[in-house]
Amino acid sequence: MEEAAIDAALVERVQAGDRLAFDLLVRKYQHRIIALIQRFVPDWHEAQDVAQEAFIKAYRALPNFRGDSAFYTWLYKISVNTAKNFLVSQSRRPPMDDILLEDAVHHEAAGRMHERATPENEFLREEVERTVIAAVEELPEEIRTALTLREIDGLSYEEIAQIMNCPIGTVRSRIFRGRDAVDRRIRPLVEG
């Protein structure tokens, strides 16, 4: 059974009064939501509290969930808004975009380089990492957001389109432009 279909079935059960079905959704997504919230609220204990608040808000709003978007997309929006509201309530400024730059490294490529860790490879890995972070930082906000939602969060194009409130074609274009900009910046390093 497809993930979206499983989520939809669990949501229906929650809407019918089955609290245990919501527990399953919490267990399924709690780690992803906490990781998301920690981009805004780095303190682990505070992030736990904010995540709990996000799940409470989701539970209370679930009777009105119509399934126009995937459950995770809906939960993602609630979590980001809850984290931003927490920062405002603490008189802290929320970040201008939805991801920290430290998350902008493509972990799979870094992992492969780490397997052959020599001083030269480690230096190259660090240089590529700095270059990727700088390249992502220089991207316009809408391109940076689309790219990180795809590459870091692993969201589908459809989910990103819903979160960013734009057509899928626009999402594809933004991700392509973001990847191309990063690729142009790191190509001299990896070819040299």
Domain encompassing residue 56: 3-89
Nearest of 188, 160, 187 to residue 174 by alpha carbon: 160
Q: Is residue 79 part of a domain?
A: yes
Q: Are residues 174 and 152 in the same domain?
A: yes
Q: Is residue 137 part of a domain?
A: yes
Q: Is residue 49 part of a domain?
A: yes
Q: Which helix (H) or strand (E) holds 135?
A: helix 119-138
32-55 confidence digits (pLDDT tens) = 898 888 888 888 889 999 999 999
Q: Are residues 156 and 114 in the same domain?
A: yes
Q: Are residues 111 and 76 in the same domain?
A: no
CATH of residue 21's domain is: 1.10.1740.10
**What pLDDT shows up at residue 127?**
80
Q: Which of 89, 114, 135 is the last residue of a domain?
A: 89
With the CA atoms of 166, 167, 172 and 176 taken in that order, what torsion angle do they form, in degrees rounded to the nearest 10? -50
Residue 98 CA to residue 149 CA, distance in Å, equals: 9
Q: Are residues 70 and 148 in the same domain?
A: no
Q: Is residue 96 part of a domain?
A: no
Predicted confidence (pLDDT) at residue 187 exceeds the cutoff of 60:
yes
**What pLDDT shows up at residue 192?**
59
6-35 confidence digits (pLDDT tens) = 889 999 999 999 888 899 999 999 988 988
CA angle (22 as vertex; 20, 27 as ends), nearest 5: 95
State the helix-helix crossing angle for 44-61 and 19-38, rounded to 10 degrees.
Answer: 140
User: pLDDT band for position 59 (50/70/90)?
Assistant: very high
27 is written with which tokens? 């267990």
Classified as helix, coil or strand, 152 is coil
**What pLDDT shows up at residue 89?**
86
**What pLDDT shows up at residue 88?**
86
**How many domains is the chain partitioned into structurally?**
2
The predicted model scores a pTM of 0.54
In the block, tokens 């929650």 appear at: 14
**What pLDDT shows up at residue 119?**
75
125-175 confidence digits (pLDDT tens) = 778 778 888 888 888 989 988 888 888 777 888 889 988 899 999 999 999
**What pLDDT shows up at residue 113?**
40
- Asked if residue 182 lies in contact with residue 132, where contact means CB atoms within 8 angstroms, the answer is yes
What sign does the dihedral 33-35-38-44 (CA atoms) show? positive
73-114 confidence digits (pLDDT tens) = 899 989 989 998 998 888 765 555 444 434 433 433 444 444
Q: Which of 38, 55, 89 is the last residue of a domain?
A: 89
Q: Which residues of 157-183 are buried (b: 16+ CB within 10 A; e: fewer)?
A: bebbbbbbeeeeebbeebbebbeebbe
Residue 164 CA to residue 151 CA, distance in Å, equals: 15
Q: Is residue 152 part of a domain?
A: yes
Q: Which of 64, 89, 114 is the last residue of a domain?
A: 89
Q: Are residues 151 and 73 in the same domain?
A: no
DSSP string, 154-181: ---HHHHHHHHTS-HHHHHHHHHHHHHH
Q: Are residues 76 and 12 in the same domain?
A: yes
